[in-house]
Amino acid sequence: MTRQPPAPEPLEARLVQAEALCARRGARLTKLRRDVLGLILASPEPVGAYALLDRMREQGASLQPPTVYRALDFLMAQGLVHRLERLNAFVGCHDDAPHDHAAQFFLCTACGKAEEVDDPAIAEAVAATAARRGFAPLRATVEVEGLCAGCALSGSDRGGSSTSPDGPGPHRPHSH
Partner DNA sequence: GTCATGCCGCTACGTTATAACATGGCCCAA
Partner DNA sequence: TTGGGCCATGTTATAACGTAGCGGCATGAC
d(CA 151, CA 168): 6
Under rule CB under 7 A, residue 135 binds DNA? no
d(CA 125, CA 92): 25
Q: Which is nearer to DNA, 67 or 164 (CB)?
A: 67
Pick from 43, 67, 109, 161: which binds a second copy (CB under 8 A)? 109
Q: How many Å separate Cα 109 from the centre of its chain?
A: 14
Q: Which is nearer to DNA, 74 or 105 (CB)?
A: 74
33 binds, among a second copy, DNA, none (CB under 5 to 8 A by kind): DNA
Pairing of strands 114-117, 104-108: antiparallel
Cβ neighbour number for residue 166 with a 10 Å cutoff: 9
Under rule CB under 7 A, residue 64 binds DNA? yes
d(CA 112, CA 46): 8
**Binding residues for a second copy, per CB under 8 A?**
73, 83, 85-86, 104, 106, 108-109, 115, 117, 119, 121-122, 124-126, 128-130, 133-149, 152-153, 175-176
